[in-house]
């Protein structure tokens, strides 16, 4: 990729170490030049064969990702060359001047090899599209049709040097994938990470986001309002849809998918299972600024809460995991009640900023403080035109 969107940084300072995390969504933009491959260097001449094998492994990973996302290397010097243009023609803007090495990694010890592994992380399971933006770039044959589930996963671990936090982040995401496995195909959007150092020897990780259902392109939708009579229109609106009663051969169907969607989405186009809501269905809570399948009609106010819960029977409540899970569930129920009391049916821009968890297992005690809030809105959902 050659661009990054939604880049966010967060630094946590503890008594014995500092942890910094950066989150973003990589995107390939056609007007920008294609990036060169990351280059590995080493001062130790005895490890040339090992360095060569690592470089080959990295190159194979980049090649595989380009095939998955159908990235074409036909962009040169910041523009796309047409058939009637010559590659020797001068360009108005030479973006390739200077050092062309976008990333140089020095590999001299095992810790440096861990940095290299960051560039070759495993992809999410099939059916999951993970971004930290509000939409999924490059999604052609599928679209976001509805809210499925807002999720919050908290993970606390003791660290002992050498401590590799990336392993625990991967484990945290694998837990999220497992719990949401029955919701595929889905997109995990507005993914937010938080790292806290509550104790000198403990690290608390938190991932927060929204699971959105993916479905086939919907027919023309409109808000729940008086029906429009198409007979009164001078021109009929043609829809790029395949009639339900039409017969299409399997070859034609596969050709259509091949032309329109990357290979990553091609298999999902067959098993689309999510459909948009056609009526009010409860109170939606989402960290996004919109509600898929609906339109925000009125803004009804902002809510900002601090909740504290204490317990002297933490073992009977299922330990720390059961205690924090039940507490977050109760907090969301209270938030939904306030949204309903204000006359709304959704909360957008939901945030969860503070999660302070203290415990004394020997005394069977625990305390937790959370800060949540967002904007209360009234949403009208869409229905298909007839």
Beta-bridge mates of residue 262:
none
Which pLDDT value is given to residue 109? 66
Name the token pair of 311.
Answer: 């317990």
pLDDT tens for each residue of 68-125: 887 876 544 434 444 444 444 444 555 555 555 567 777 766 666 666 777 777 788 8
3-state secondary structure of 233: coil
| Contact partners, residue 70, CB within 8 Å, separation at least 6 | 262, 263
Q: How many C-beta neighbours within 10 Å does residue 278 have? A: 13
* Nearest Cα residue to 352 out of 336, 378, 371: 371
Which pLDDT value is given to residue 95? 52
pLDDT tens for each residue of 308-332: 999 898 888 888 888 888 999 999 9
Q: Is the domain covering 284-384 a CATH 3.30.110.70 domain? A: yes
Which pLDDT value is given to residue 267? 42
Query: Is the pLDDT reported for residue 228 higher than 60?
Result: no
Q: How many C-beta neighbours within 10 Å does residue 87 have? A: 7
Q: Which residue has the higher pLDDT, 184 or 88?
A: 184
Q: Which residue has the higher pLDDT, 314 or 307?
A: 307
Which pLDDT value is given to residue 315? 86
Query: Is the pLDDT reported for residue 261 higher than 90?
Result: no
How far apart, in whole angstroms, are the C-alpha atoms of residue 318 and residue 311?
A: 12
Q: Is the domain covering 7-27+123-217 a CATH 3.40.50.720 domain? A: no
pLDDT tens for each residue of 355-374: 888 888 788 888 999 999 99
Q: Yes or no: say if 21 and 74 are a contact pair by the CB < 8 Å rule.
A: no
* pLDDT classification of 298: cutoffs 50, 70, 90: very high
With a pLDDT cut of 90, the percent of the chain lying above it is: 20
| Cα dihedral value 225, 229, 230, 233, nearest 10 | -100
Which pLDDT value is given to residue 384? 53
pLDDT tens for each residue of 242-255: 333 333 333 333 33
| DSSP string of 242-301, one letter each residue | --TT----HHHHHHHHHHHS-HHHHGGGTS-------S--S-EE-SSSS-TTEEEEEEEE
Section 163-172 average pLDDT = 83
How far apart, in whole angstroms, are the C-alpha atoms of residue 8 and residue 5?
A: 9
Which pLDDT value is given to residue 349? 93
Name the token pair of 128.
Answer: 């999951």
How far apart, in whole angstroms, are the C-alpha atoms of residue 277 and residue 280?
A: 8
Domain definitions of the chain by residue range: 7-27+123-217, 31-80+95-121, 284-384
Name the token pair of 44.
Answer: 């130790």
Q: Which residue has the higher pLDDT, 260 or 38?
A: 38
Section 3-30 average pLDDT = 89
Average pLDDT in the chain: 76
Residue ranges of alpha helices (H) inside the chain are 48-68, 110-118, 165-179, 250-260, 263-266, 319-341
Which pLDDT value is given to residue 245? 36
Which pLDDT value is given to residue 170? 87
Q: How many C-beta neighbours within 10 Å does residue 205 have? A: 20
Name the token pair of 277.
Answer: 């809501």
Which pLDDT value is given to residue 100? 52
Which pLDDT value is given to residue 230? 46
How far apart, in whole angstroms, are the C-alpha atoms of residue 129 and residue 135?
A: 10
How far apart, in whole angstroms, are the C-alpha atoms of residue 183 and residue 268?
A: 12
Which pLDDT value is given to residue 222? 53
Q: Do domains 7-27+123-217 and 284-384 have the same CATH topology?
A: yes
Residues in the chain: 386
């Amino acid at each position: 990729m050659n661009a990054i969107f939604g880049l966010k940084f967060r630094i946590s300072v503890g008594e014995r170490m500092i942890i910094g995390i950066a989150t973003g969504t990589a995107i390939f933009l056609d007007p920008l030049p294609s990036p060169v491959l990351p280059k590995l260097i080493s001062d130790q001449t005895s490890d040339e064969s090992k360095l060569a094998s690592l470089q080959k492994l990295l190159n194979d990973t980049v090649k595989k990702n380009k095939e998955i996302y159908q990235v074409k290397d036909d962009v040169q010097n910041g523009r796309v060359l047409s058939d009637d243009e010559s590659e020797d023609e001068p360009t108005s803007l030479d973006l390739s001047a200077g050092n062309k090495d976008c990333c140089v990694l020095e590999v001299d010890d095992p810790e440096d090899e861990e940095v290299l592994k960051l560039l070759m992380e495993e992809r999410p399971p099939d059916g999951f599209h993970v971004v930290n933006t509000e939409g999924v770039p490059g999604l052609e044959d599928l679209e976001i049709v509805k809210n499925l589930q807002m999720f919050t996963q908290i993970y606390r671990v003791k660290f002992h040097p050498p401590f590799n936090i990336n392993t625990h982040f991967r484990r945290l995401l694998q837990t999220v994938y497992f719990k949401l496995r029955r919701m595929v195909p889905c997109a995990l959007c507005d993914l937010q990470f938080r790292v806290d150092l509550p104790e000198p020897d403990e690290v608390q990780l938190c991932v927060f986001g929204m699971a959105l259902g993916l479905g086939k392109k919907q027919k023309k939708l409109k808000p729940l309002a008086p029906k429009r009579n198409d007979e009164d229109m001078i021109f009929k609106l043609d829809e790029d849809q395949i009639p339900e009663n039409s017969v299409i051969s399997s070859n034609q169907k596969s050709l259509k998918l091949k032309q329109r969607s990357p290979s990553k989405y091609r298999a999902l186009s067959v098993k689309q299972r999510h459909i948009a809501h056609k009526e009010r269905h409860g109170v939606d809570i989402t960290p996004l600024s919109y509600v898929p399948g609906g339109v925000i009609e009125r803004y009804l106010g902002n809510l900002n809460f601090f909740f504290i819960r204490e317990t002297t029977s933490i073992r009977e409540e299922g330990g720390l995991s059961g205690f924090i899970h039940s507490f977050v569930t109760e907090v969301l129920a209270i938030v939904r009640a306030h949204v309903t009391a204000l006359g709304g049916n959704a909360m957008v821009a939901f945030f969860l900023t503070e999660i302070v968890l203290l415990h004394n297992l020997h005394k069977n005690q625990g305390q937790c403080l959370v800060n949540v809030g967002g904007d209360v809105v009234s949403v009208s959902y869409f229905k298909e035109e007839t």
